[in-house]
Amino acid sequence: MHKHFLNWDAAKTIEDTNITLSAVNHANAQVYPVIKEMVATKFFRTFKVDLESECPFWAMERLCGVEGGCSVCKCDEKEVPIPWKITTTHHINRQGLFGRAAGKRLKWNDKNANSWFPSPPESHMTYVNLLNNPEANTGYSSKEASRIWMAIYTENCFQGGDVNAMCFEERFFYRLLSGLHSTITTKIATYHFKKSEFTNPLDGSPPPQVFTYDMWDPNMNMFNFMISFPERLQNMYFLYSTTFRAIQKARDFLLDYDYSTGNATEDQATKHMLTNLLANDKFQLNVTVPHEDDSSCCYDESCLFASSCDADKVNFVAQMQEHFYNISRLMDCVGCEKCRMW
């Protein structure tokens, strides 16, 4: 294993936060078993995704280097929960979700002009079983893949991706993107080679059509290369911490959500697991960030847009919203179905 990883000080604070790496590791060890069990339930494993929208930026090639590795195994009609086939109007209390004063329940507005991400037409949407489509190596590593990451970093990051020139809000945005990139790379390195006993069964039977996570071996060279960049690991931890905080902020909304799939017994078990997860002390991860004056404030929306970037807050938020939206549209340029799904 790479020396940078072996010599990493777990007591070190994650950049732009006041939380240590060891605290995140400990919290993850506590909540991971619950999450692993929970994502196998029908509600969480059945996912609706857009695989049809065209790339708006350039002519896209659909490429894949591993036979069958890029295609998505879609759900049969009978796998889709019956309650989900019934059209409903969803409401969300946006003020309550973000910790502000309680307000009236508002109809969700998905108009692109006021969205942080696009809303594809229903005809483009399809249901997939995430367990039958593991996030693993698909062989998608062409110039097209590099082009997408280049567009994300050079055209949709502030200050051209120069962290040293960024204020906190800009760094926050950049670290999330870098952390996501590092997470994807780590997952691909972990599930990289299909095990030979499945690709070439000794009994002469055909290889399975669906490869689950236990049918892959890691690529240690790829993993060691990724962790040779400490800042990328830092950003992966930053992303994880931010996800923790987002779930904390949405706790009441998540507890009140309808998890019905038509199977009362499993639905009750799903709700029970989620309740236990959110009640876990380790999910109260106290993440704080240093303010401009080196004092600390809570890691929530009150910390964002409180630095030098706040001089023109309205325009800056609009610019960040535009970046989020553009990156979402860039995902439509991914030529690998499975990569696009994840």
Write down the pLDDT at residue 103: 42
Residues of the chain with pLDDT > 90, as a percent, come to 25
47 Cβ neighbours under 8 A, 6+ residues apart: 127, 128, 129, 130, 341
Q: What is the pLDDT of residue 127?
A: 94
Q: Does the pLDDT of residue 285 top 80, yes or no?
A: no
For residue 141, the SS3 value is coil
User: Do 20 and 13 contact (CB within 8 A), yes or no?
Assistant: yes
- Helix 230-249 × helix 168-190 angle, to 10°: 110
Range name among 27-36, 74-83, 176-185, 200-209 with the lowest pLDDT average: 200-209
User: Residue 91: is its pLDDT beyond 50?
Assistant: no
pLDDT higher than 90, residue 4? no
How confident is the model at residue 312, as a pLDDT? 62
Residue 190: per-residue pLDDT: 93
The answer to whether 12 and 21 are in contact (CB under 8 A) is yes
pLDDT of residue 83: 92
Q: Give pLDDT, residue 220.
A: 94
- For the stretch 151-191, pLDDT in tens is 888 877 776 667 778 888 888 889 999 999 999 999 999 99
Say whether pLDDT at 79 is over 60: yes
Q: Which of 17, 3, 14 is nearest to 233 (CA)?
A: 14
pLDDT for the residue numbered 281: 67
Q: Give helix 313-330 / helix 168-190 axis angle, nearest 10°.
A: 20
Q: Running DSSP on this structure, what letter comes out for residue 13?
A: B
Amino acid at position 200, single letter = N
* CA-CA-CA-CA torsion sign (259, 53, 316, 238): positive
pTM confidence score:
0.83
- Per-residue confidence at 298, pLDDT binned at 50, 70, 90? very low
Q: What is the pLDDT of residues 101-143, one digit of tens each?
A: 444 444 444 455 567 888 888 888 999 999 988 888 888 876 8
User: What DSSP string runs through 266-319?
Assistant: HHHHHHHHHHHHHHSGGGS---EEE-TTS-EEESSTTTTT-SGGGGGHHHHHHH
Q: Which residue has the higher pLDDT, 27 or 261?
A: 261
- Taking phi over 0 as left and psi of -120 to 50 as alpha, with beta for the rest, 175 belongs to alpha
Q: Provide mean pLDDT across the span 260-267.
A: 95
pLDDT in tens, 19-68: 888 888 888 888 899 999 999 999 999 999 998 889 988 887 766 544 55
Lowest mean pLDDT segment, chosen from 11-20, 94-103, 185-194:
94-103
Mean pLDDT across the chain:
79
- Say what angle helices 264-279 and 21-38 make with each other, to 10 degrees: 170
The confidence score (pLDDT) of residue 310 equals: 57
How many Cβ atoms from other residues are within 10 Å of residue 206's Cβ?
Answer: 6
**pLDDT number for residue 247:** 87
Residues 6 or more apart from 222 whose CB is under 8 A from it? 185, 188, 189, 192
In percent, the amount of the chain with pLDDT more than 70 equals 77
In this prediction, residues 255-264 reach a mean pLDDT of: 94
Flag whether pLDDT at 263 surpasses 80: yes
